[in-house]
Amino acid sequence: MKRLVALLFATAAFLLVMLSPLDKESLGFQNTTNTSIPASPAGPHRYRTVVILPVFTQAAYGSHGFYQFYRGRCSLKCLTVQIPKHFTPSYVAGGGLDGILLHQNATYVTDLDVDKDPGILGKYDRVILLHNEYVTQKEFDAIVHHPHVIYMYPNALYAKVKVDYDKNTITLVRGHGYPQKSIRNGFGWAYDNSKYEYNTACDNWHFYRIQNGYMLDCYPQLVVENDNLMLDEMLLL
């Protein structure tokens, strides 16, 4: 109930700004759609959002990937895998919000884009992660130093990989019990929230604040497309 009241209050406040001609003009908003993200009619968006598509995680979960090694079914060779050319939404990588976020003027980049140019995130006011479990050190640094990140999936930023651009591969470096079984988060990240990864029902979910954004306390893949309140609250953060 408290969440609903807060959401209604935030929505009402936002609409008040949207309906004020002075504020719209001074802030560069437009009111031509029902989106929750304000945008300027020309030039850069006033409030720009980027989604990082987890192609590294998609690669890690491939049929001859990291999880064959974890299960003892493959040697170290399975810790080097090809990076897919295209991102495919799935339960393990996340996704399914593409159409919704495109209507909110969101831009999409991949792990590769961020690793090649970590400064790209500085062009955006808000970063949304999916299940970006496997990232490089440069990508990790760029994400955790951005001031406004929404971590939609628990277990993001869990293990460190490196990229071989000549071979178009990633290799696991550290994390997920490698190279020592005692190692969990490969970055020693204080905000690791992997404990929520197996809460897939998402009953009584909520976004909680961390140093550089918000985290969801459940794994939303089975419910997010049909939970309008969850989507609305995410877009208001």
**What is the average pLDDT across 201-210?**
96
**pLDDT at residue 146 above 90?**
yes
What is the DSSP track for 9-52? HHHHHHHHHHT-HHHHHHHT---SS--SS---SSSS-SS-EEEE
| 2: in domain | no
Model confidence band, residue 47 (pLDDT cutoffs 50, 70, 90): low
Domain presence at residue 40: no
Share of the chain above pLDDT 70, in %: 78
Q: What is the domain count for the chain? A: 1
Q: Residue 74: inside a domain, yes or no? A: yes
Residue type present at position 146: H
What is the rounded distance in angstroms from the CA atom of residue 146 to the CA atom of residue 220?
23
Under 8 Å between Cβ of 216 and 152 = yes
Assigned domain for 6 exists: no
Say if CB 37 and CB 100 are below 8 A apart. no
19 part of a folded domain: no
What is the pTM for the complete model shown? 0.80
Amino acid 98: pLDDT:
63
Higher pLDDT, 156 or 99: 156
Selection from 18, 42, 44 nearest residue 31 by Cα: 18
For the chain, how big is the Rg over CA atoms in Å?
19
The domain of 187 spans 47-236
Of the given ranges (28-42, 115-129, 141-155, 174-188), which has the lowest mean pLDDT? 28-42
Residue 79 per-residue DSSP state: G
What residues contact 139, with CB distance under 8 A and at least 6 apart?
Answer: 52, 111, 114, 115, 118
Measure the CA–CA gap between 144 and 191, rounded to whole angstroms: 10
